[in-house]
Amino acid sequence: MSLDFEYRIVDVFSDKPLAGNALCVVLDPVPEPVMQAIAREVNLSETTFPVVTADGEYENRIFTPTLELPFAGHPTLGTAWVLGPGRWMQHTAGADVEVVVDQGGAVMTQPDPTYSPADSADAVQALGLPGAEGAWVAQAAGNRMFLVLTESAIDRLEPDMHAVAAVSRNNSSVTLAVVRRLDDRTLHVRVFVPGAGIPEDPGTGSAAGPIGLLARTHWGTDADVTVRQGAEVGRPCIIEVHAEEGALRVGGRVAMCAKGHFSL
């Protein structure tokens, strides 16, 4: 028996292809055992499998090359954008979020995160940072993210990925993010996810909301901030965050890159 699944590859947090964070969206129903295999074959940071269930509503499954995620940011925005302009309600295992799509991009709501202070020492050593202002574990939409705030430049970090994975694992987190304030409206962010098969993620929408709120609390940054991420891996991303409790929003531009079929 042969199987044929139509797919799109889009680049999220960019207004042009071959930049931003790439995403594969598989448009046809896929049997459960095949989903992870396709995500491994594609080998992008995430691959999604949406199923439209009603007018303006869909269920979504999100996979990295090695595991399924309860929620993720750029897959949410990119999937809704592929499904078309309008107002969508996305259902995943971690959260139900609203996504508003136009021709150029998408904006999603996010549930408010909770924060727990954490010891930054191991993360500072793993990242090769001179120091940190503090660390927190943020939890939202079924994900735990280890967030490190620093005043030091982060563009030339050479992290020890085994140590980064250990820090994440020891804090029951998949994601380790380091954040530097450039000014009151701009944050420089790098995100490492080696435990999910992604050494460095170009653009992390699920972390951008918690980062924006934490930066506003800790540094007094504006409610509307731009997160710059991904330049260090050749995939610059621009992520727009509205950091307001109860009205947390994350968005960006989306560009079509490729169309095709899996023939299995």
Q: Are 122 and 170 a contacting pair, CB within 8 Å?
A: yes
Which residues have a Cβ under 8 Å from the Cβ of 205 and sit 6 or more positions away? 12, 13, 72, 73, 74, 76, 77, 108, 239, 250, 252
Active site residue 57: no
Q: Which residue reads 């990925």 in tokens?
A: 161
User: Between the CA atoms of 219, 186, 95 and 100, what dihedral angle is there, to the nearest 10 degrees?
Assistant: 140
What are the DSSP calls for 199-223, one per residue?
EEES--HHHHHHHHHHHHHHH---S
Q: Which of 6, 32, 41, 46 is catalytic?
A: 46
Cα separation, 144 vs 164, in Å, equals 15
Q: Which residues pair with 108 in a beta bridge?
A: 99, 250
Cα separation, 93 vs 25, in Å, equals 18
Cα separation, 168 vs 4, in Å, equals 37
- Which three-class secondary structure string do you get for 86-121? EEEEEECCCCEEEEEECCCEEEEECCCCEEEEECCH
Q: Which residues pair with 147 in a beta bridge?
A: 136, 177
Please state at what angle helix 205-219 crosses helix 73-83, rounded to 10 degrees. 130
Catalytic residues: 46
